[in-house]
Amino acid sequence: MAMKKVVVINNKGGCGKTTIATNLASFYASRGQNTALFDYDPQGSAMRWLRMRSDEQTPVYGVVAHQSAAKAVTMSWHLRLPPETEWLVVDTPPGLKGPDLADQLKGADAILIPVLPSSIDIYATADFIRDMLLGTRVRSSGTPMAIVANRVRKNTLAFQALQRFLASLSIPVVAQLRDSQNYVYASENGMGVHELDKRPNKEERQHWLEITDWLDSQLG
């Protein structure tokens, strides 16, 4: 199959981009597909997760992708991928605007936008989506995009506000990830939640099937 590039993006920090990117990368790797993970965030959380990954887990090819990492070589050489790569998952930094935002979205086959159930995150995400649709070629290119509601606690006022915001968009909401310690444990051990024991993790596994089923339906 031709390589598929999935960009996980939102200019609001702390919304769960790394959680989604690492879980998605580990999902495809565990499915037996050659998977790469780009970490554009100078904080390096995705690469820290990758270093925690044990040899017992299916490997993910990782690249420290932000500009300061490429010191003695060209950026294109630094970002080269193994020719057999099937999935590339991109973890982006916060605060992207203008040309930097357009560069991150270049060549994307699908876009995932994580959103937290808080008023600050809702307003920031609304501004970001507007900037992305108006300031890049995403709309004209027809690149599939979807929202992932993250750290959801149902039956709260914050979640109800998030639901109202999401209902106002013409972008599908493919999953609502609950606020669970399973994500904390998985992150600390370089794993995805689908790689944890199945019994206490059934709901999280179902959420990730919703996300990957949507990606598969869009990308083939």
Q: What is the pLDDT of residue 23?
A: 96
- Looking at residues 125-140, what average pLDDT do you find? 83
- pLDDT at residue 47 is higher than 90: yes
Please provide the average confidence, as pLDDT, over all residues in the chain. Answer: 89
Mean pLDDT is lowest, of 16-30, 104-118, 163-177, for 163-177
DSSP conformation letters of 6-67: EEE--SSTTSSHHHHHHHHHHHHHHTT--EEEEE--TT-HHHHHHHH--TTSPP-EEEE-SG
Which pLDDT band, with edges at 50, 70 and 90, does 167 fall under? Answer: confident
- Looking at residues 150-159, what average pLDDT do you find? 82
Q: What is the rounded CA–CA span in Å between residue 192 and residue 24?
A: 8
Which pLDDT band, with edges at 50, 70 and 90, does 70 fall under? Answer: low
Domains of the chain by start residue, with CATH: 4-219 (3.40.50.300)
Q: What is the pLDDT of residue 66?
A: 80
